[in-house]
Amino acid sequence: MKKYWSRRIRDMVPYVPGEQPKDRVFIKLNTNENPYPPSPKALEALREAADDRLRLYPDPECAALRAAIAAAHGLSPEQVFAGNGSDEVLAFCFQAFFDPDRPVCFADITYTFYAVYAEYFGLTPRLIPLGEDFSLPVTAFCAGDSGGVVVATPNAPTGLEVPRADLIRILESNPQAVVLVDEAYIDFGGTSADNLVDQYDNLVVVRTLSKGHGLAGMRVGYALGHPDLMAALQCVRDSINSYTVDRAAQAAAAASIADTAYFEAQAAKVSATRDRAAAQLRALGFDVTDSKANFLFAHHPKVAAKTLLDGLRERGVLVRWFDRPRISDHLRISVGTDAEMDALYDALKELTEE
Ligand SMILES: *Cc1c(COP(=O)(O)O)cnc(C)c1O
């Protein structure tokens, strides 16, 4: 088939999201969702927004939401762009800042959406292999000839944070290009580059409320950067769909961001559970990276990752496995509640001792 498909998408291999099961109740450790509910203030704002004002289009500029984000980061609203999930913000960034005639640099092992966007927007990716230990080879990102750089920190699916000094080196060696820093997992113990935005006019920090704020179902993400870069994102948005963030999402996201104490406490709980679960897995013989995210990246020297994936599924636990070079012997395990991680441990104990 594909009879009427545009040439642009006929050979596309799109991103594959993690499974959202509908048939039975699983312990879901496969899509890096937050195990804890969103801020009660966000839910209250959401309910308040659900009235006859839904007749009206939302504020295309997301003024109130951007003001809340700006205040949280010590920036001005002109340095903020809000979008319908950070996936949309990233897609706008690829279109706003990158050209086909110069390569876009990102790691060989990172968020797979970068490669999908590069292909979809007709860009030329330059894949930079991570070190054996999955560390970012900084020098390779500093050639100064690229048309764009994308770095996730903490990286997915490895969980490793990119040291701040390395980010600064990358920013300073690439004055010719925009450097996207994807901080989807920064809330779980990493150090944000948000306070470099005033200094580097080629920096765009991309954030999401899906992980740290427990609002994956709401679809809100944002970018921080120089006002001229944010204007480019608006230009792309207004060439496609001016109203990407709906009224209810704007209200809920603004309330969640203002409720700093709540979401920081939830994120701290997730980080503590992560470190406890990492120790448990290491006791079972797993190699586990030093994750600063809300997931673990683990490899067992004796039992194949695919075997563990299937065995866990039979025992009611979903995790993520990527059938890709270099990481097909690893599992990515989202951090759930302590009880969920205990169930994971019991299942893995059985599977690795068999
Ligand atoms: C989850 C994730 C995103 C996407 O987040 P949404 O805001 O839900 O679209 C972006 N980047 C990375 C690295 C992620 O893991």
DSSP annotation string for 268-319: HHHHHHHHHHHHHHHHTT-EE----SSEEEEE-SSS-HHHHHHHHHHTTEE-
Please give the C-alpha separations between residue 185 and each of 146, 214, 270, 312, 318, in angstroms, as whole numbers. 26, 12, 12, 25, 20
Whether 24 has a pLDDT exceeding 80, the answer reads no
Name the residue at shortest CA distance from atom 14 of ligand 1. 184
Structure token pair of residue 84: 């319908």
- Residue 25 has a pLDDT of 86
- Residue 354 has a pLDDT of 72
Question: In this structure, which CATH number among 3.90.1150.10, 3.40.50.720, 3.10.105.10, 3.30.390.10 belongs to the domain 7-37+261-353?
Answer: 3.90.1150.10
Name the residue at shortest CA distance from atom 2 of ligand 1. 184
pLDDT digits (tens, 9 = 90+) for 211-246: 999 999 999 999 999 999 999 999 999 999 999 999
Average pLDDT of the chain, as a whole number:
96
Stretch 176-201: mean pLDDT, rounded?
Answer: 97
Topology of 40-259 in CATH?
A: Aspartate Aminotransferase; domain 2 (3.40.640)
Q: Which long-range contacts does 122-130 make (Cβ < 8 Å, 24+ apart)?
A: 123/94, 123/98, 123/99, 123/147, 123/148, 124/100, 130/158
Q: In this prediction, what percent of the chain has a pLDDT beyond 70?
A: 100
The contacts of residue 12 (CB under 8 Å, 6+ apart) are 116, 119, 120
Whether 339 has a pLDDT exceeding 80, the answer reads yes
What spacing in Å lies between the alpha carbon of 219 and ligand 1's midpoint?
Answer: 10
- Residue 15 has a pLDDT of 87
Q: How far is Cα of residue 1 from the mean position of the Cα atoms in its chain?
A: 34
Smallest CA-to-CA distance from 180 within 147, 218, 215 is with: 147
Instruction: Count other Cβ atoms within 10 Å, centred on residue 102.
Output: 16
- Residue 302 has a pLDDT of 96
Distance, CA of 168 to CA of 193 (rounded, Å): 9
Whether 190 has a pLDDT exceeding 90, the answer reads yes
CB 300 within 8 A of CB 308: yes
Stretch 114-138: mean pLDDT, rounded?
Answer: 97
CB 60 within 8 A of CB 246: no
Distance, CA of 152 to CA of 200 (rounded, Å): 18
Q: Which atom of ligand 1 is nearest to the CA of 86?
A: 7
What spacing in Å lies between the alpha carbon of 318 and ligand 1's midpoint?
Answer: 19
Assign 333 a pLDDT band (cuts: 50, 70, 90).
very high
Q: Which atom of ligand 1 is nearest to the CA of 152?
A: 13
Cite the residue boundaries of each domain of the chain with CATH code 3.40.640.10: 40-259
Mutate to test the pocket of ligand 1, among 87, 113, 182, 220 (most ligand atoms within 8 A of CB): 87
Assign 8 a pLDDT band (cuts: 50, 70, 90).
confident
Smallest CA-to-CA distance from 248 within 14, 66, 51 is with: 51
Stretch 261-288: mean pLDDT, rounded?
Answer: 97
Assign 351 a pLDDT band (cuts: 50, 70, 90).
very high
Stretch 37-60: mean pLDDT, rounded?
Answer: 97
Q: Which atom of ligand 1 is nearest to the CA of 156?
A: 13
Stretch 185-208: mean pLDDT, rounded?
Answer: 97
Cite the residue boundaries of each domain of the chain with CATH code 3.90.1150.10: 7-37+261-353
CB 143 within 8 A of CB 167: no
Q: Which atom of ligand 1 is nearest to the CA of 155?
A: 13
pLDDT digits (tens, 9 = 90+) for 52-62: 999 999 999 99
Whether 167 has a pLDDT exceeding 90, the answer reads yes
- Enter the pTM of the model: 0.96
The pairing of strands 317-318 and 27-28 is: parallel
Question: Using a 6 Å CB cutoff, which residues line ligand 1?
Answer: 32, 85-87, 111, 152, 156, 182, 184, 208, 210, 216, 221
Helix (H, G, I), strand (E, B) or coil at 321: coil
Mutate to test the pocket of ligand 1, among 185, 208, 219 (most ligand atoms within 8 A of CB): 208
Let me know how long the chain is.
Answer: 354
